[in-house]
Amino acid sequence: MAVHLDAMTPVALLERTLRVFPERTAVVYGTERWTYARLAQEVGRMAGALERAGIVPGDRVAFLAPNVPELLVAHFAVLRVGAALVAINTRLQAEEVGYILAHSGARIVFCDPELAGQIVPPAQGAPLYVNVEDPVAGVTGSPLPGPTYAEFVEGAPVLSVALQLEDENALTSINYTSGTTGQPKGVMYTHRGAFLNALGEMYVHGLGRDSVFLWTLPMFHCNGWCFPWAVTGAGGTHVMLRGVDPARILELIPQERVTHFNGAPTVLLMLAEAPEAAGVRFDPPVRVATGGAPPSPTLLARMESLGVRVTHLYGLTETYGPHVYCEMQADWESLDPEGKARVMSRQGVPYHHATHLRVVDDAMRDVPPDAATMGEVVMRGNNVMKGYFEDEAATAKAFEGGWFHSGDLGVVHPDGYIELRDRKKDIIISGGENISTIEVEHTVVKHPAVLEAAVVAMPHEKWGEVPKAYVALKPGAEATEDEIIGFCRETLAHFKCPKAVEFMELPKTSTGKIQKFRLREKEWAGYEKRIQGN
């Protein structure tokens, strides 16, 4: 390789931090505290054990576990031996996990004992199973036929963390999307993309050697938005977390001096609603990046009073997690709370390494920046996946016209900021008018009794479809269907208001996204569906 061209890789970020901050705290889990020297040793040992077990460059290694230290270690060790990490969503059923293991061809499967029931070992042609015990949480045992993690690495050579990589476009990982229909697709990340994204996160979120990052975001979700690499590159501290427990989070933030965490708006909502949050105001404020569904202005305002500075961002598994974030403008600080929350709820502008993002009509023309004309969000460049693993047809479809098609509908504000309005498949078309379900939801959640809401289309003889709101009320709060509808009609065009309201606990994905497709399916059972899921 030419002297001026080294393959970019996120593994180099650990190599550097090991050199610069060997004695700083890398990992905190329960009473366990690892320095970076120790983390590098654990990475080297796992890498050595992987090689000893026959893993060669190009292989895949799967992990089914919560945010335990071994999963962080795997984000470096698997890459170090040239293999790709397949971190699997822990809420998937055995059938889905089985599909992913078979499709990825993982040669080793690491599994948390509590999740072993989601894996059905095949009779033959089996990968090697490793039981990743979690003594900190008291989760032990070997339910799968294979060694414990301690046995797997015992006596293994400890490799250096320096990776000599030939091709920066080799894979770091394959992240399977939880498709709402059809089989999961394996999104391929590269060393180049992961490195650039990690640098971007370090810069934009102000990660440094004094940062303490709390792992509320599942690491299986877009490789934790590349934060395993970003926090490490900054020399900050990873505070591991087995599950999202609001009381535990509220306890850890002051105890470990947490400076940053990431999470879906539902996680923020859980925090705000927790009894332990009463009277709490973090000082200095904690920086939180939130993605998934757009947080409502109501939620953003509540976070401010909790001492949580929310940065809203947006991306997909196909864009290494975040692709845009809501960069605060200086003059926004002087807006009233409602106005401030409104601008902060936008998705924003591209990261520095992710310049290319457009909002386009069906003919791939940019929509006008009028905050009104909806188009599809499309991206290209170094923050976009390499493609879907062994699925050329799906890749070609997603990359039609040389851009990645997000399936998300948004508008562009006159200042260039984008704001999402809906999933392409969620939009409601009522009597020829587009209705953004997100806009309706943001109105519904302003009602004081409402905890959260999801709006979907329901069939209507005259209009084709109309909005229906599914609502979860706050504990002890009460409201009727008529009250909710009347409340919406005060501020929203009447054709946009829900025509029906149903009260229930909302169905969610493992990352806290509301599963609107389940609600829609309920409404449209027996109908020929208008909308093609993907």
Q: Kindly indicate which of the ranges 67-75, 100-108, 148-156, 190-198 contains the residues binding a copy of itself, using the contact rule CB under 8 A.
A: 190-198
419 is an interface residue for a copy of itself by CB under 8 A = no
Please, what is the minimum distance in Å from the beta carbon of residue 397 to a copy of itself? Answer: 12
Q: For residue 375, report the phi and psi dihedrals to the nearest 5 degrees.
A: -150, 175
Count of residues near a copy of itself by CB under 8 A: 46
380 is an interface residue for a copy of itself by CB under 8 A = yes
The answer to whether residues 178 and 515 touch, using CB atoms and an 8 Å cutoff, is no
Nearest-angstrom CA–CA distance, 249 and 261 = 10
123 is an interface residue for a copy of itself by CB under 8 A = no
236 is an interface residue for a copy of itself by CB under 8 A = no
Smaller CB distance to a copy of itself: residue 162 or 493?
162
Query: 422-433 burial by CB neighbour count: b if 16+ within 10 A, else e?
Result: bbbbbbbebeee
Smaller CB distance to a copy of itself: residue 140 or 355?
355
Which positions from 208 through 227 interact with a copy of itself, judged by CB under 8 A?
209-210
Three-state secondary structure call for residue 84? strand
The token duo for 451 is: 């905890």
129 is an interface residue for a copy of itself by CB under 8 A = no
Please, what is the minimum distance in Å from the beta carbon of residue 241 to a copy of itself? Answer: 25
435 is an interface residue for a copy of itself by CB under 8 A = no
Strands (E), 436-492: 450-460, 464-473
352 is an interface residue for a copy of itself by CB under 8 A = yes
Smaller CB distance to a copy of itself: residue 198 or 272?
198
Other C-beta atoms closer than 10 Å to the C-beta of 125 total: 6
Three-state secondary structure call for residue 395? helix
Nearest-angstrom CA–CA distance, 8 and 352 = 17
355 is an interface residue for a copy of itself by CB under 8 A = yes
257 is an interface residue for a copy of itself by CB under 8 A = no
393 is an interface residue for a copy of itself by CB under 8 A = no
386 is an interface residue for a copy of itself by CB under 8 A = yes
228 is an interface residue for a copy of itself by CB under 8 A = no
190 is an interface residue for a copy of itself by CB under 8 A = yes
Contacting a copy of itself (CB under 8 A), which of 12, 84, 341, 438? 12
How many C-alpha atoms does 352 have within 13 Å on its Cβ side? 9
Please, what is the minimum distance in Å from the beta carbon of residue 170 to a copy of itself? Answer: 13
Please, what is the minimum distance in Å from the beta carbon of residue 263 to a copy of itself? Answer: 24
The answer to whether residues 231 and 261 touch, using CB atoms and an 8 Å cutoff, is no
19 is an interface residue for a copy of itself by CB under 8 A = yes
Q: Kindly indicate which of the ranges 192-200, 251-259, 287-295, 511-519 contains the residues binding a copy of itself, using the contact rule CB under 8 A.
A: 192-200
309 is an interface residue for a copy of itself by CB under 8 A = no
Please, what is the minimum distance in Å from the beta carbon of residue 53 to a copy of itself? Answer: 28
Three-state secondary structure call for residue 357? strand
Please, what is the minimum distance in Å from the beta carbon of residue 380 to a copy of itself? Answer: 5
Which positions from 312 through 331 interact with a copy of itself, judged by CB under 8 A?
327, 329-330
Please, what is the minimum distance in Å from the beta carbon of residue 319 to a copy of itself? Answer: 10
DSSP string, 173-242: EEEEE--SSSS-EEEEEEHHHHHHHHHHHHHHTT--TT-EEE--S-TTSHHHHTHHHHHHHHT-EEE-BS
Q: Kindly indicate which of the ranges 60-68, 187-195, 246-254, 433-441 contains the residues binding a copy of itself, using the contact rule CB under 8 A.
A: 187-195
Contacting a copy of itself (CB under 8 A), which of 3, 123, 363, 525? 3
- Say which residues have a Cβ less than 8 Å from residue 123's Cβ, sequence separation at least 6: none
Smaller CB distance to a copy of itself: residue 173 or 436?
173
Please, what is the minimum distance in Å from the beta carbon of residue 355 to a copy of itself? Answer: 5
The answer to whether residues 19 and 12 touch, using CB atoms and an 8 Å cutoff, is no
Please, what is the minimum distance in Å from the beta carbon of residue 393 to a copy of itself? Answer: 15
Nearest-angstrom CA–CA distance, 482 and 70 = 51
Three-state secondary structure call for residue 489? helix
Other C-beta atoms closer than 10 Å to the C-beta of 342 total: 16
Work out whether strand 404-412 and strand 375-379 pair parallel, antiparallel, or are unpaired. antiparallel
Contacting a copy of itself (CB under 8 A), which of 55, 119, 132, 202? 202
363 is an interface residue for a copy of itself by CB under 8 A = no
Which positions from 460 through 499 interact with a copy of itself, judged by CB under 8 A?
none
Nearest-angstrom CA–CA distance, 531 and 497 = 21
Smaller CB distance to a copy of itself: residue 129 or 195?
195
Nearest-angstrom CA–CA distance, 424 and 427 = 6
Q: What is the end-to-end Cα distance of the chain in Å, rounded?
A: 41
Nearest-angstrom CA–CA distance, 273 and 475 = 9
Please, what is the minimum distance in Å from the beta carbon of residue 277 to a copy of itself? Answer: 31
Q: Report the phi/psi class of residue 295: left, alpha or beta, with left for phi > 0 and alpha for psi in -120 to 50.
A: beta
Smaller CB distance to a copy of itself: residue 8 or 73?
8
Look up tokens 């845009």; give the residue. Answer: 324
16 is an interface residue for a copy of itself by CB under 8 A = yes
Using CB under 8 A as the criterion, which residues of the chain lie in contact with a copy of itself when the complex forms?
2-6, 8, 12-13, 15-16, 19-22, 24, 169, 190, 192-193, 199, 202-203, 209-210, 233, 327, 329-330, 349-350, 352-353, 355-356, 380-382, 384-387, 399, 402-404, 416
